[in-house]
Amino acid sequence: MSATTSGDAGAVPAVTDAAACALPGAAPTVPGRIWVGPTQQERFGLLRRAKSIAIVGASNNPARASYFVATYLLSSTAYDVYLVNPRETEILGQPVYASVSDLPVVPDIVDVFRRHDDLPGVAQEAIEAGAQTLWLQLGSWNEDAAAIAESAGLSVVMDRCIKIEHARFHGGLHLAGFDTGVISSRRQLRAR
């Protein structure tokens, strides 16, 4: 296949066969990314088997994604949710722990909201705590952290929001990213 759709100066780059035929959830297409994460079905299995989630980098700021995710997990799921932040003592009426090792339980999933450079250290902390899954939130990608966790037998999910994934798998995700509480295939009538 040629690199452009026509020979003129305003030519539009052609779509390669690989890009045109790529399946959702296939290997990442971002340059420099070689790690391939779990499939949709595997992510569903991770969420289904989990009983507890530790949110590392939990924030008391309602504008932060970690606050929004914690609110959702506490109010809309049956998970035991533990919040981790060494600078807080309470968030959303829940006690906050200084580190994953300070939790009263071994979390099944360690959901991470931390800077890129902190991720390998959090992966090691998840291993030491005995967690089963390291989950790096939407926008977080660190192949070193993934390699550390996977070498110790942990499952790894990167660049995915646990709230979005949970809501999507349970039929409650609205296009705007929140739960409408309504599941229907019925079309709405519009006024003309």
Q: Is 59 within the bounds of a domain?
A: yes
Whether the per-residue pLDDT at 121 is higher than 60: the answer is yes
Q: Is 26 within the bounds of a domain?
A: no
Q: Is 29 within the bounds of a domain?
A: no
Q: Is 152 within the bounds of a domain?
A: yes
Task: Tell me how many domains the chain contains.
Answer: 1
SS3 track for the chain: CCCECCCCCCCCECCCHHHHHCCCCCCCCCCCCCCCCCCHHHHHHHHHHCCEEEEECCCCCCCCHHHHHHHHHHHHCCCEEEEECCCCCEECCEEEECCHHHCCCCCCEEEECCCHHHHHHHHHHHHHHCCCEEEECCCCCCHHHHHHHHHCCCEEECCCCHHHHHHHHCCCCCCCCCCCCCCCCCCCCCCC
Q: Is 131 within the bounds of a domain?
A: yes
Average pLDDT over residues 52-64: 96
Whether the per-residue pLDDT at 6 is higher than 50: the answer is no
Least confident among 25-34, 56-65, 93-102, 180-189: 180-189
Q: What integer pLDDT is reported at residue 21 of this predicted model? A: 35
Domain that holds residue 92: 39-169
Which pLDDT band, with edges at 50, 70 and 90, does 95 fall under?
very high
Q: Is 57 within the bounds of a domain?
A: yes
Average pLDDT over residues 135-144: 93
Q: What percent of the chain has pLDDT over 70?
A: 72
pTM greater than the 0.85 cutoff: no
Q: Is 85 within the bounds of a domain?
A: yes
Greater pLDDT, 3 or 38: 38
Q: What integer pLDDT is reported at residue 65 of this predicted model? A: 94
For residue 71, give the CATH number of its domain.
Answer: 3.40.50.720
Whether the per-residue pLDDT at 108 is higher than 90: the answer is yes
Question: Mind listing the pLDDT tens digit for each residue in 10-51?
Answer: 444 443 333 333 334 434 455 677 888 899 899 999 999 999
Question: Mind listing the pLDDT tens digit for each residue in 151-187?
Answer: 999 999 999 999 989 888 876 655 444 555 555 555 5
